[in-house]
Structure 1
Amino acid sequence: MGRTRDLLCYSATRLGLTPLVLWLIATLVFLLLRVAPGDPVDAVLGSRAPAVAKAAMRARLGLDQSLVDQYLSYLGSLLHGDLGQALIDQEPVRLIIERTLPASLELSVIALVSAVLIGFSIGFSGIARPEGRIDLGVRLYGLGTYALPPFWLAMTVQLVLATNLGWFPVGGRFPPNLLPPDGSGFYLWDSIFSGNWIALNGTIRHLVLPAGTLAVLLSGTFTTALRLNLRRTLRGDYIEAARSRGLSERQVILRHALPNALLPILTIIGITVASLIGGALLVEVTFSWPGIALRLQEAISQRDYPVVQGIVVVIAALVVLVGIGVDLLIAVLDPRVRY
């Protein structure tokens, strides 16, 4: 009963701090955009536009106000759920996020699940014979994939498997000659739910290269983490006790060592969700994946304040919520955690 009460207090505290974290992130993004070089009006109208047109647009966008007034207006709109409108085409930022976020989430989830499966499979293979050839290969794989530049691997995969061999499309998210499935914006789910197997095939073919690239880049982290945690766990006294009871090495690893070794990796998964944002940007640009990271890069180059601010706040909220979820899951699974 006491542990349940402590867990609820811990959850309430973490959730209570979430608005403060989001406010700090929103404020930081607002200030960085204002002090960065460049003028959003010039980005929209061009540097040679008449001064009268520039002044009119500044007034319409509220850029003629003081920095404090702009900040207060921005926070007021944010509190009411209004993320503003894009400067270029006046499209509501909320609609931009609703259109692009499912593509990034689908790519990130598939890549993360694939990375965990690949990393665990490779990391687990070197446990039977520590310091052997297989274990050395596992260590090299973990270091190599962690050090690979994302843009280089993405372009290499694209050049070999798409351009030279023609096994997969070069870029994009869906075949241009087909209509994407209607629904949630998650093409895999929508295709399966509607029974549209042609759309499903097209979705998978376009998803393999970008998701596979991200999965390989992330898998090295899980390979190294599983290897190190398993080796440390196998040196525990309770493992020796399990062996002394006559259990096979397979039973000792799967039933006793592996569950304890996986707990720290949950934290790494939470951190990896945040790192997916940076990695996904380079992959989305290379493969022309119409996700939120690619749209963020375009908005930054166009000095589109509302789009950048809206996307960063939404991404920050997702990362914070995932971090809280992982912390709570660890607190539930591990009785050693104190609050």
Structure 2
Amino acid sequence: MVKYILRRLLLLFPVLFGVSLATFVVMHMFTTDPAAIILGQHATTERVEALREELGLNKPIYIQFADYITKAAQGDLGKSVITKTSITDELVKRFPATVELALAAIVIASIFGVILGVVSAVKQNSLFDYGSMVAALMGVSMPIFWLGLMMIIVFSVMLGWLPASGRIGIGMTPENITGLYLVDSLLTGDMEVFNDALRHLIMPAVALGSYSTAIIARMTRATMLETIRQDYVRTARAKGLTEQVVIIKHALRNALIPIVTVIGLQLGALLGGAVLTETVFSWPGIGSYVVEGILTSDYPRVQGAVLLIGTIFVMVNLVVDILYCYLDPRIQHS
């Protein structure tokens, strides 16, 4: 197991190198000249060329990439060409917001998705089964930005139950709150901040988790239908075990591997930055940071965020693979 983990960690470097190279090439091929954007359309050619030299944009692209990789290996993702701020510092500030949103979304998706999938499989071809699968189909089909806007109209504008945007209310940012508002407020005992942060989190988390809930529900149902027909499940029933024990202890446990895989992939995608959700709800996470970088052709910002997203995907996949051994001891990594 240790050798397997070390080998997977070593594979992290070529994967991230490929992600960085692809992003670097694409951003330099299709983005507008940042120097021209910074100086405006009325800037002279001399001023534009001087700024390009200052930013290092006049160097050959392979030299620019080599400089970027060297600095990235040292934890320096460069500076924004628009705001001149450190990209590493900005990502560190915004990452807790995305973590909080993604974890809330995946918890909601996992709980409701697994429950819907298990009950649908046990009650196959029932009214509940048809209803839950229709709901799952709607969850996969509905655009997240549309669902988010509908939730804002209903629960914020019409009913006034929840705030429409932002991560926390005005005047609710004490200095001892660092990033994970829900966790920090619980640790400090500030329930006013906790309640306010929770109210801001509910709608974005539900909107973001809707797609994942549908995917997990459909995968759980399909896997459970296959599992409950196995001989060991019939044997467990023949022993006189209750249906609840048979389904949870025998069937669900053996069906968890593909379910955990889907949950891990969904978590990686959510942590990578829910661009649409963060944009609709003005959530200050990585997704909105990437959108701002694309709109302003701030390619160092996009490169740094994509590199972080790639790292998250690889690490989540590694954790999922390790979990396989604990869920099914028959699996051996050679």
Native 8 Å contact 1:242 1:252 kept in 2:
yes
1:83-128 deviation line (CA, Å, top 9, x unaligned)? 1111112111111001111101100001100111111222222234
Native 8 Å contact 1:181 1:190 kept in 2:
no
Deviation at 1:37, TM superposition (A): 4.0
- 2:97 corresponds to which of 103, 110, 128: 103
Change (3 A) 1:85 1:278: closer
> What is residue 212 of structure 2 aligned with on the other side?
218
CA RMSD of aligned residues (A): 1.5
1:175-214 deviation line (CA, Å, top 9, x unaligned)? 0133245343111111111111111111011111101111
> What is residue 310 of structure 2 aligned with on the other side?
316
> What is residue 239 of structure 2 aligned with on the other side?
245
Native 8 Å contact 1:100 1:292 kept in 2:
yes
- Rounded to whole Å, the distance in 2 between the matches of 1:328 and 1:128 is 29
- Rounded to whole Å, the distance in 1 between the matches of 2:147 and 2:127 is 26
For the pair 1:79 / 2:79, whether they are aligned, the reply is no
For the pair 1:271 / 2:265, whether they are aligned, the reply is yes
Q: Secondary structure at the match of 1:87?
A: coil
Native 8 Å contact 1:22 1:313 kept in 2:
yes
- Rounded to whole Å, the distance in 1 between the matches of 2:268 and 2:312 is 9
- 2:129 corresponds to which of 122, 135, 139: 135
1:283-315 deviation line (CA, Å, top 9, x unaligned)? 100000011110111011111122111111111
- Rounded to whole Å, the distance in 2 between the matches of 1:265 and 1:302 is 39
- Rounded to whole Å, the distance in 1 between the matches of 2:168 and 2:147 is 22
Deviation at 1:8, TM superposition (A): 2.3
1:261-281 deviation line (CA, Å, top 9, x unaligned)? 112111111211233257711
Native 8 Å contact 1:181 1:191 kept in 2:
no
> What is residue 12 of structure 1 aligned with on the other side?
6
Instruction: Summarize the alignment of residues 99-178 of structure 1 with structure 2, pairs less than 5 Å apart.
Output: 99-178=93-172
Native 8 Å contact 1:181 1:187 kept in 2:
no
- Rounded to whole Å, the distance in 2 between the matches of 1:120 and 1:311 is 31
Instruction: Summarize the alignment of residues 196-235 of structure 1 with structure 2, pairs less than 5 Å apart.
Output: 196-235=190-229
Change (3 A) 1:229 1:180: farther
- Rounded to whole Å, the distance in 1 between the matches of 2:148 and 2:273 is 10
Native 8 Å contact 2:177 2:185 kept in 1:
no
Q: Which moved more, 1:46-55 or 1:196-205?
A: 46-55
1:154-186 deviation line (CA, Å, top 9, x unaligned)? 111111111111111110111013324534311
Q: Secondary structure at the match of 2:274?
A: helix
For the pair 1:281 / 2:275, whether they are aligned, the reply is yes
Q: Secondary structure at the match of 1:329?
A: helix
- Rounded to whole Å, the distance in 2 between the matches of 1:251 and 1:68 is 60
Change (3 A) 1:325 1:115: same
- Rounded to whole Å, the distance in 2 between the matches of 1:137 and 1:283 is 26
- Rounded to whole Å, the distance in 2 between the matches of 1:219 and 1:269 is 9
Instruction: Give the residue type in structure 2 aligned to 1:39.
Output: D
Instruction: Give the residue type in structure 2 aligned to 1:153.
Output: L
- Rounded to whole Å, the distance in 1 between the matches of 2:148 and 2:135 is 17
- Rounded to whole Å, the distance in 2 between the matches of 1:134 and 1:236 is 23
- Rounded to whole Å, the distance in 1 between the matches of 2:59 and 2:273 is 37
1:226-280 deviation line (CA, Å, top 9, x unaligned)? 1111111100000111111111212211111111111211111121123325771
What runs of 5+ residues in structure 1 fail to find an aligned partner?
A: 1-6
Change (3 A) 1:271 1:80: same
Q: Secondary structure at the match of 2:212?
A: helix
Q: Which moved more, 1:128-137 or 1:233-242?
A: 128-137
For the pair 1:334 / 2:328, whether they are aligned, the reply is yes
For the pair 1:33 / 2:37, whether they are aligned, the reply is no
Q: Which moved more, 1:27-36 or 1:241-250?
A: 241-250
> What is residue 3 of structure 1 aligned with on the other side?
none
Pairs aligned (count): 333
Native 8 Å contact 2:169 2:196 kept in 1:
yes
Deviation at 1:335, TM superposition (A): 2.7
- Rounded to whole Å, the distance in 2 between the matches of 1:208 and 1:152 is 16
- 1:70 corresponds to which of 64, 69, 84: 64
